Amino acid sequence: MRLIFIAPPGAGKGTQSALITENYHLPQLSTGNILRAEIKAGTPLGNSVAQYINVGEFVPDEIMIQFLEDQITKEKYANGFILDGFPRTLYQAISLDRLFLKYNFKLDAVLILYVQKSELIARLAARRTCLNCGASYHLEYKPPKVFNICDVCGSTLTQRKDDSEESIKTRIRNYNNLTMPIIEHYDSMNLIHRIDGVGTLDQVYGRIDKVLKYIDRNGLSQ
């Protein structure tokens, strides 16, 4: 399957994507994680996008579209993927349609998580990330075994620069102003599956799993 995951910042799409990857053997294509790794490595791409990501702004469409084409054509994504963090604008969604047509890919479903704004702010303020391996945590919902230490590699956890209060507000505003129109775009293609994103990790994943089983059962992913 090829899936798109759309949600406001802090809704938990990265965590839920990881669960889908584990249970359905679909590689997660997280544009945010990949770009942050590029920033850490100081690559030309990382240096060009850091000025946008670090203040919560969207990376320009032209950069993102070329970056995504480079990613989806890699061998590891040949049999499907779950796309997390793209598209974030209607222009990107239309450009993605063109890429799928170019490579004869089929989009099977668009999952949308819904979470109230107050809950989003609370979640983001308590989120922590390992800059070394990319693992993510939440001080309330998914705390590390040892405070502020990554369970995976033992590195110190940090709060992302784009999780500062001002950056959070900017990101939510950008989501509302730019991202929401793509829902109408995919709705017109009958690809949208709306999911309540409030609850425990298992509760939210259970709702997602029900949707994916429905797709399999009805042959929509063939």
Judging by beta carbons within 10 Å of its beta carbon (0-12, 13-18, 19+), is residue 64 exposed, middle or buried?
buried
Is residue 127 annotated as a catalytic residue, yes or no? Answer: yes
Q: Is 2 a catalytic residue?
A: no
Residue 171: active-site member:
yes
Q: Cα(20)–Cα(111) distance, rounded to whole angstroms?
A: 12
Residue 84 is given by DSSP the state E
On whether the CB atoms of residues 46 and 94 are closer than 8 A, the answer is no
Degrees to nearest 5, angle at CA 58 with 137 and 112: 60
Rounded Cα distance between 108 and 105, Å, is 10
Choose the catalytic residue: 2, 36, 123, 127. Answer: 127
Distance CA 119, CA 198 (A): 8
Report CA 63 to chain centroid distance, whole Å.
17
Q: Cβ contacts of residue 119 below 8 Å, gap of 6+?
A: 10, 198
Q: Active site residue: 2, 36, 123, 171, which one?
A: 171
Residue among 13, 36, 123, 128 flagged as catalytic: 13
Q: Which of 2, 36, 88, 123 is catalytic?
A: 88
Count of beta carbons in the 10 Å neighbourhood of residue 206: 11
Residue 51 to residue 221: CA distance in whole angstroms: 38
Query: Of 2, 36, 128, 160, which residue is the catalytic one?
Result: 160
Among all residues, which ones are annotated catalytic?
Answer: 13, 88, 127, 160, 171
